[in-house]
Amino acid sequence: MTRHEQIAPDGRLRHLLDLEGLPRAALERLLDRAQALHADAYGGTALRARLAGKAVCNLFFEPSTRTRSSFRLAATRLGADVLDFDASTSSTKKGETDADTLRTLEAMGVHAFVVRHAVDGAVAALSAVAAPGTVLVNAGDGRHAHPTQGLLDMLSIRQAKGADFARLKVAIVGDVKHSRVARSDLHALRTLGAGEIRVCAPAALMPGASELDGCRAIDGLDEALHGADVVMTLRLQRERMEEGLVPSIEEYRRDYGITAARLRGAAPDAVVMHPGPMNRGIEIDADVADGPQSLVLRQVANGVAVRMAVLEELLA
């Protein structure tokens, strides 16, 4: 399946696999709806009839804290039945294929699968074997994409800085090469017309030139932060990295860690973002993560509203 097949001919979303190729109107519609859902995203009961009778399965083949919990809350607050599938205790351990797992759960009446997988493209591959009408939501596949994280990041920026992204200088710092979050953020920032997108990483953690279309690749952190309105930092994703890409944690922190002192080079009202899980004292210092410029917990909160908007559009 190509990324365009996630959109039906009438413009509605059929699956959410990737933000690449998602038209600006569709992206903004989801952000607007997430914003409107805010009151109901935090325990409201008004929408419990919305997805009544639908069943949503969290199918996670990789660990997760934020994404899995917020999809579960989002589906619950829309009244869906929620099934949590843990690959570590399931028949995948007995050799069952991912496709057979999906079909087994479909046979029980599951309508939507929220899938996290270690392999790039695994969720699109499952969408190709799913029954017509079954909905797939990518909750992170390998290094490829994490579209709901991209959406919640855009919503967090919009709330903090307004909807005119053309005014913004955005710096994405750290292990961009292995980050599905950064890839989805880059697609969304381009779609929303961000004024300047800076990507800052050591050479070994910089993605290839084809992925940096419309971005400025910058090696030095101070240059990347200079006057930036939004600073996004990322975890070193060692589970997706060959050995030896980063010389040492101490050097990495010295050159690319977001500290209060380094942050003073950004715009005075800059906001700092991190998708979590954070490694405090490596890519971000605790006083920055917990400080007044941090959007980290706002991002988490927005995750519930964004996932409600996505599930509602796909299933209601």
- Please report, as ranges, the residues that interact with ligand NCD according to CB under 6 A: 66-67, 140, 146, 149, 180-181, 235, 237, 275-276
Q: Report the nearest approach of ligand NCD to the CB of residue 31 (Å).
A: 18
Nearer to ligand NCD, 217 or 278 (CB): 278
With tokens 């903090």, the residue in question is 160
**Cβ contacts of 107 within 8 Å, gap of 6 or more:** none
Provide the minimum distance between the beta carbon of 264 and ligand NCD in the complex, in angstroms, as a whole number: 26
How far, in Å, CA of 79 to CA of 81, rounded? 7
Smallest distance, ligand NCD to C-beta of residue 146, A: 5
Find how far residue 80's CA is from the centre of its chain: 22
Whole-number Å distance between alpha carbons of 157 and 272: 10
Residue 228: other Cβ atoms inside 10 A: 24
Tokens of residue 31, six digits: 């952000």
CA distance 147 to 140: 7
Q: Which is nearer to ligand NCD, 147 or 262 (CB)?
A: 147
Task: Output 140 or 207, the one with its CB closest to ligand NCD.
Answer: 140
Closest approach of ligand NCD to the CB of residue 276, in Å: 5
Hey, what are 100's tokens? 């057979």
Both tokens assigned to 185: 């953020």
Task: State which residue, 257 or 275, has the beta carbon closest to ligand NCD.
Answer: 275
Instruction: Give 134 or 184: the residue with its C-beta nearer to ligand NCD.
Output: 184
Residue-wise burial string across 147-186, b where 16 or more C-beta atoms lie within 10 A, e elsewhere: bbbbbbbbbbbbbbbeeebeebbbbbbbbbbbbbbbbbbb
In angstroms, what is the minimal distance from the CB of 64 to ligand NCD? 6
Q: How far is the CB of 307 from ligand NCD (least distance, A)?
A: 11
Distance separating alpha carbons of residues 48 and 54, to the nearest angstrom: 11
> Judged by CB, which is closer to ligand NCD: 47, or 176?
176
